[in-house]
Structure 1
Amino acid sequence: MSCSAGSRRIRRSWSAVSRPPSKMRPTLFNGMRGPAGRKCSGVVSAPPGRARGRGLRRGQVITGTVTEIASFGVTFVDIGGFTAVINIPELSWRHINSPSDIVTVGQEITAEILDVDMASERVPLSLKALQADPMQDLARQVGQIVTGPVTKLVPFGAFVRIEESENGLEGPVHNIELADGHVERPEDVVRLGEALTVKILEVDPTRRRIALSHKQALDGAPKGHRHT
């Protein structure tokens, strides 16, 4: 349809409307000029964020640059003009206190896309999805006796780090597994920072569960014993 034909159709349509054409909102028509004299493109443009996010898919491995580390723990990443996010649990399999323990602003990273929601312009990423889960290796060490530092005391027991690295995996030793007799409080038996020998009773990577025992470690043979 030509622009002139479209304009005639527009003018005819005014007669069916009670209000004068000058007070109506301009209407854009594909391939013609509307009442305001603006030429219509025929294409409805997507918001900038959605346009840049096209082509992203779940499971895709992408490279981006860290642009910001928010005070509430979210890391923002520029992936070719679109801003994606990484929440703290997706930065590492191991416990971290802050995203800055893993990434820095300006750093180039490679991550996996967990989801793509263009309606809310939300694309969460994961660094740990591309890393080996250390619990899988630890699961093969069930039954071994190790020595590690007590990292935390809680009412039900003590946590002991059983890997050598500072942010290594740790697990709880419940009060009942701290000594043969009744233990009312863990601080009655161990101190924070003390090296404690424990036996690895259970490692469940799916449930993210580790169970340790100091009592059973004392009864166990030294074979396979290691220090962390």
Structure 2
Amino acid sequence: MRVLPAQLPTYLVKKEEAYSPRGRNAIIRFAIENKLKLSGETERAIFTCLGCGACTAVCLSSVQTKDLIFQNRECQVDEGFYPKIVDRLVNTLDDVKNISDDDNEDRAEWQELIKELPEDAFEKAHADILFFVGCVASFFPMVQKIPANMAKILQKAGVDFTILGGDEWCCGFPPGGCRDGGDRLPAVRQDHGDAGQEEQERSGGKGPDRTGR
């Protein structure tokens, strides 16, 4: 797999073959063939991949390196080779339902960037579209203008939408991409589904609820 160095963010920093797509694919192959034992070194090579897919975009063979790496991470986890800080992340999600350890009720603070905020603050019992904002856009000031501008666009386009506000939980990608192999994601979706069902029952089941059902 030959790609341009400019397309390899981590390789540009590390300058080591193990941090290139070819090196990571080799680690995965040798691990499958039992020719390489997983270790702290393979952990660092596999878990420093950004998952951006830039290597596949310029690969003539379109090798799906990102998908292979995410699958290999599950094997690394089974052997105990993964960034232990992820354990803290999982505990944080269990406690406050977001990655930044903030009060989840503050998810809609990006609304402060909107001068003409409607009375319902976009939190309606029924709507055609659910705007899922996400943790980063909700809590990181440098990107809060993204949901604010998106809300303005939806308003201008006359789209009937709502947000979950404090009822929105992490989508599950961070632990899924780092440690849990995606097992957490269905659980998060189920939690939202249960919350949505309760909302629908309270509202008498009229029209789509805030989960988009």
Query: Normalized per residue, which structure has more helix?
Result: 2
Which of the two has higher C-alpha Rg? 1
TM-score bracket for this pair, using the shorter chain length: under 0.3
Report the TM-score when normalising by structure 2.
0.27
Report the TM-score when normalising by structure 1.
0.25
Q: Which has the higher contact order (CA 8 A, sep 6+)?
A: 2
Query: Normalized per residue, which structure has more strand?
Result: 1
